[in-house]
Amino acid sequence: MSVDLGMPNARPRPLAERRKSRQIMVGNVPVGGDAPVSVQSMTTTLTSDINSTLQQIAELTASGCQIVRVAVPSADDAEALPIIAKKSQIPVIADIHFQPKYVFAAIDAGCAAVRVNPGNIRKFDDKVGEIAKAASAAGVPIRIGVNAGSLDKRLLEKYGRATPEALVESALWECSLFEEHGFRDIKISVKHNDPVVMINSYRQLAQQCDYPLHLGVTEAGPAFQGTIKSSVAFGALLAEGIGDTIRVSLSAPPAEEIKVGNQILESLGLRERGLEIVSCPSCGRAQVDVYTLAEEVTAGLEGMDVPLRVAVMGCVVNGPGEAREADLGVASGNGKGQIFVKGEVIKTVPESQIVETLIEEAMRIAEGMKDDGVESGEPSVSIAG
């Protein structure tokens, strides 16, 4: 008698139909509509420290992050945005605090989107018309990110505390200001640290608008607690078809957030991994033309249909560490390529042999995956960026 261990031959059916939301583009990543739920994170470096920020973005990119947010609380941070936006391989969202003028700086810098928290930007409502005009001209969407901890004082007085109704009213009020100017390129978040309040907030919001929703539990806590809170809250909402992009907040390195986010989506059958080529954004340390190498590796692995993540990193200093969540990768420098598997260097080869060595190793890992019964997703080769 054969026992069914529940190993599916095909993807399980989704738990619920996705809520129908309008689609926006965050750089080259569609959010909302029928786009797959995307995973994002936020850097913890000082944004003004360009190299450290780009290095952390490289680490996030290699671990499967699709969109990255950087904080912009000062003029120095705003000045760093053009280089970061240009060099990042994944779309960069500028998270604006305090000063409306940084919104314009972020749009001018080429950021893929801007996040505003109306509760902590001075006289934000007065500036909405100008912001809508600039964002619309540049094709830059705005995330209206309401947080329980910085709720508009008027609503705090009206509701007494950050209830779901207060969070939703705050978000929809801001949307209405943008709508008055014909601007609807918006996504919304209504974050709370209590998953129950958060779930109820997003449920209400989902019924009252068709904007794409960014899910997040704010101040979720250290890795263990934050993982549980986010999994429970996102799981409840995503199982109802609510949520278009997610950010797990952990008091842990940002790449950990991506690991958890990807796992949540995979657990719910919302994410199929195929072959993924990710490359670092390159920085002052790069000793190789990362973009050309990434293109060659992509061409060499074309047609491979296993859920393998391959990282192409520009230097041997940080490359392996930044790509430790990748299955396989190369870090190049001094005319050589260090080939690594799961962040550990397994051999060093001359630069001319990097592509063929990666292909050999990819085949070997793919065979191992097939022996272990790992299923492949739709073949999809993509270079982040």
Q: Tell me how far, at minimum, the Cβ of 16 lies from ligand SF4, in Å.
A: 39
- List strands edge to edge, sheet with 344-350: 276-279, 309-313, 328-333, 336-341, 344-350
**Identified binder of ligand SF4 from the candidate list 150, 189, 230, 282, rule CB under 6 A:** 282
Cβ pair 304, 297 in contact under 8 A: no
Question: Using CB under 6 A, which of the segments 224-232, 251-259, 316-324, 335-343 binds ligand SF4?
Answer: 316-324
Cβ pair 164, 195 in contact under 8 A: no
Q: What phi and psi values does residue 146 have, to the nearest 5 degrees?
A: -90, 135
**Identified binder of ligand SF4 from the candidate list 189, 231, 298, 318, rule CB under 6 A:** 318
- Residue 290's nearest CA partner among 281, 298, 301 is 281
DSSP-assigned letter for residue 192: B
Q: Tell me how far, at minimum, the Cβ of 330 lies from ligand SF4, in Å.
A: 10
Question: Using CB under 6 A, which of the segments 105-113, 196-204, 253-261, 307-315 binds ligand SF4?
Answer: 307-315
Integer angstrom CA distances of residue 348 from 69, 332, 334: 34, 9, 11
**Identified binder of ligand SF4 from the candidate list 37, 206, 280, 308, rule CB under 6 A:** 280
- Residue 265's nearest CA partner among 39, 6, 28 is 39
H-type alpha helices, the chain? 50-62, 75-87, 101-108, 124-138, 153-159, 164-179, 195-208, 223-239, 254-267, 290-300, 319-322, 354-371
- Residue 200's nearest CA partner among 236, 239, 159 is 236
* 315 annotated as ligand-binding: yes
Token pair recorded at residue 49: 């420290």
Site membership for ligand SF4, residue 55 (CB under 6 A): yes
Number of residues that bind ligand SF4 (CB under 6 A): 16
What does the alpha-carbon distance between residue 141 and residue 293 come to, in Å, rounded to a whole number? 32
Site membership for ligand SF4, residue 283 (CB under 6 A): yes
**Identified binder of ligand SF4 from the candidate list 307, 319, 337, 385, rule CB under 6 A:** 319
Measure the CA dihedral 366/370/373/377, to 10°.
Answer: 60
Question: Using CB under 6 A, which of the segments 54-62, 98-106, 200-208, 345-353 binds ligand SF4?
Answer: 54-62
Return the number of the residue (104 or 340) whose C-beta is nearest ligand SF4. 340
Site membership for ligand SF4, residue 119 (CB under 6 A): no
Q: Tell me how far, at minimum, the Cβ of 327 lies from ligand SF4, in Å.
A: 17
**Identified binder of ligand SF4 from the candidate list 97, 181, 203, 285, rule CB under 6 A:** 285
What does the alpha-carbon distance between residue 19 and residue 109 come to, in Å, rounded to a whole number? 33
**Identified binder of ligand SF4 from the candidate list 42, 58, 78, 277, rule CB under 6 A:** 58
**Angle, vertex CA 350, rays to CA 349 and CA 355, nearest 5:** 75
Site membership for ligand SF4, residue 61 (CB under 6 A): no
Site membership for ligand SF4, residue 325 (CB under 6 A): no
**Identified binder of ligand SF4 from the candidate list 138, 286, 341, 383, rule CB under 6 A:** 286
Site membership for ligand SF4, residue 313 (CB under 6 A): yes
Site membership for ligand SF4, residue 255 (CB under 6 A): no
Site membership for ligand SF4, residue 254 (CB under 6 A): no
What does the alpha-carbon distance between residue 267 and residue 270 come to, in Å, rounded to a whole number? 8
**Identified binder of ligand SF4 from the candidate list 152, 257, 322, 361, rule CB under 6 A:** 322
Q: Tell me how far, at minimum, the Cβ of 74 lies from ligand SF4, in Å.
A: 23
- Tell me the residue nearest to ligand SF4 as measured from the CB: 314
Site membership for ligand SF4, residue 32 (CB under 6 A): no
Integer angstrom CA distances of residue 91 from 72, 124, 155, 378: 16, 25, 33, 23
Bind-site residues: 280, 283, 315, 322
Bind-site residues for [4Fe-4S] cluster: 280, 283, 315, 322
**Site residues (vs ligand SF4, CB under 6 A):** 54-55, 58, 280-283, 285-286, 313-315, 317-319, 322
